[in-house]
Structure 1
Amino acid sequence: MRRFHLAAVLLGVVVLLPIAAAAAAAAAAKAPAAPPGPPNVTTAMAKGGCKAFADLIAASPDAASTYQSAAGGGMTVFCPSDDAVRAFMPKYKNLTAEGKAELLLFHAVPVYYSRGSLKSNNGVMNTLATDGSAKNYNFTVQNEGDVVTIKTAASDDVARVKSTVLDTDPVAIFTVDAVIEPVELFKPAPSPTPAPAPAPAADSPKAGKAAHHPAPAVADAPGPAASDSPPADQKKESKKSAAAGAPCVRWFAAALTAAVAVAVASTLA
């Protein structure tokens, strides 16, 4: 009797087990599939030509955690090419750890933009480094035809979008040909001060002396008669004598004239 009972149980298990498995499979098929998790951003960058930039993010704990958490809510990354990062490394090494993290976060926008929507968005965009009004950390996107550029006030150069690494909602990754420099870390260079006008050429020493110290006039050499002229004292005495004798001469001339007039009158009589 016990053997019969055990055989019946085994038979039931054998019969019901496939039925239960089929039912479970049908239930699993009806259940909605779980949405895929956000992509690994740094892995995608490394595969798309931005390995140097991805390595910098991985080396910064703050930047790495922020990138991965932002990927779930929507994000657009502008990753510089390996050549651009290598050219920028001297500047990057001079930044503090905080400055490095902010620079890395500055290259991502907390909004998903497809390549098509990116071409229609001109203007200022906030970044993952933006922290209210304390830290603006924004850049300007400009479009001209199919060319998309990114510009900041820290440099006259622009970063151009070159290719698409990933464009699947909620994450888009585009390569750019230059590292984007935030004005908060790289102050714009001051405008060069115009050179002062050159001072007028100074007069030569000879000309200056001639202008301010004219040469004394050279007196004419005395002529032959100059040696016969009386000394200055004699000239003064002569003038005094002439002045004193002038009345006597006038009286004598008047007397002589009167005498001649009398003689002429007598002769005529």
Structure 2
Amino acid sequence: MRRLHLAAAVLAVFLPLAVSAAGGKAAAAKAPVAPPAPPNITAAMAKGGCKAFAALVAASPDAHSTFQSAGDGGVTAFCPSDDAVRSFMPRYKNLSADGKASLLLFHAVPVYYAPRSLKSNNGVMNTLATDGSANNFNFTVQNEGEQVTIKTDASDHAARVKSTVYDKDPIAIYAVDTVLEPVELFEPAESPAPAPAPAPVADAPKAPKKQARHRPVADAPGPAAEDAAPADQRKNSKKSAASAAPCLPWAAVLPVVVAVAAALA
């Protein structure tokens, strides 16, 4: 009996220790817990009102794989609204497969920007489409107060960030109101025409000049004779000619008077 009691006492003491040791070894044998997989970016876009853009990304193998792999190191995506994609589809269909992939990748930058950090950044940003060659595929982020805009050289109007679709480090997704157009795929926007120069101020109208009255021009005098009389003598000669002029008619009439008198006699 004593032996039985002694054995029971030994078990009572050492059995819990053995169980605890076995549990510790089992816990140590478990594999380390893997970090959670990054979220599906296209699924997050679709939930945030960008179903059309998410469908385009999912349909492009190159764009889809690049988006997903970029999520591991940090990425910020800008997804256009469904209305914006719908109106842009005719131009999108005219692109080649590579052009479509580049356009989709142009809507993300390989850096995680939380809303606060995005509002504090201004300047040129490289995108997932940037390959380091002459085709830069970059855009310019500008902030005006709380409004964040994105400007490209192929568009006259900047895209506006409307809302935050997803934000959890290392992935951020923002909805924009238009499709971003890279200048590498589309014609650059025309520069605004310079403002016309102000018209010169017209001079005050001048009073019309009075037309000079033209006096009849006398015929130029002929060449004077060498023995021409002085001017005062020419005046006297004119008077003499004027006084002698009335005598000439009577000399012509006198024969007629004499003939009439003879006839009457």
Q: Which bin holds the TM-score, normalised by the shorter protein?
A: 0.5 to 0.7
Letter in 1 for 2:79: C
Matched residue, 1:44: 44
Distance (Å, rounded) in 2 between the aligned partners of 1:45 and 1:70 = 15
What is the CA distance between 1:38 and its match in structure 2?
A: 1.5
Q: CA deviation at 1:170?
A: 0.7
- Mark the runs of 5 or more structure 2 residues left unpaired by the alignment: 1-14, 195-265
In structure 2, distance between residues paired with 1:123 and 1:16: 65
Cα deviation, residue 77, structure 1:
0.2
- Number of equivalences: 181
Query: Counterpart of 1:144 in structure 2: which amino acid?
Result: E
Distance 1:100 1:32, change over 3 A: same
Distance 2:185 2:159 in 1: 17
Residue 151 of structure 1 is matched in structure 2 by 151
C-alpha separation in 2, matches of 1:117 and 1:28: 43
Q: Indicate the residue corresponding to 1:92 in structure 2.
A: 92
Say whether residues 1:134 and 2:138 are aligned partners. Answer: no
In the alignment, which residue of structure 2 is the partner of 1:22?
23
2:64 is matched with: 64
Report whether the alignment pairs 1:120 with 2:120. Answer: yes
Instruction: Tell me the residue number matched to 1:244.
Output: none
Which secondary structure state, in structure 2, belongs to the residue aligned with residue 87 of structure 1?
Answer: helix
- SS of aligned partner of 1:54: helix
Counterpart-to-counterpart distance in 2, 1:111 and 1:182: 19
Q: Offset of 1:27 from its aligned partner?
A: 3.5
Deviation at 1:94, TM superposition (A): 0.8
Match of 2:184 in 1: 184
Residue ranges of structure 1 left out of the alignment (5+ in a row) = 1-13, 195-269
TM-score normalised to structure 2 length: 0.62
Aligned-pair identity in percent equals: 74
Amino acid at match of 1:68: Q
**Structure-to-structure mapping, 1:1-269, within 5 angstroms:** 22-23=23-24, 26-27=27-28, 33-190=33-190
Residues 192 and 145 of structure 1, relative CA distance in 2, 3 Å threshold: closer
CA RMSD of aligned residues (A): 2.8
Q: When the two structures are superposed, what TM-score results if normalisation uses the length of structure 1? A: 0.61
Change (3 A) 1:28 1:108: farther
Distance 1:193 1:146 in 2: 30
- The change in CA–CA distance for 1:28 and 1:96 in structure 2 (over 3 A counts) is same
Q: Which amino acid aligns with 2:38?
A: P
Query: 159-168 or 32-41, which moves further after superposition?
Result: 32-41
For the residue of structure 2 that corresponds to 1:173, the secondary structure is strand
Q: Which has the higher helix share?
A: 1
Amino acid across the alignment from 1:61: P
Distance 2:55 2:22 in 1: 47
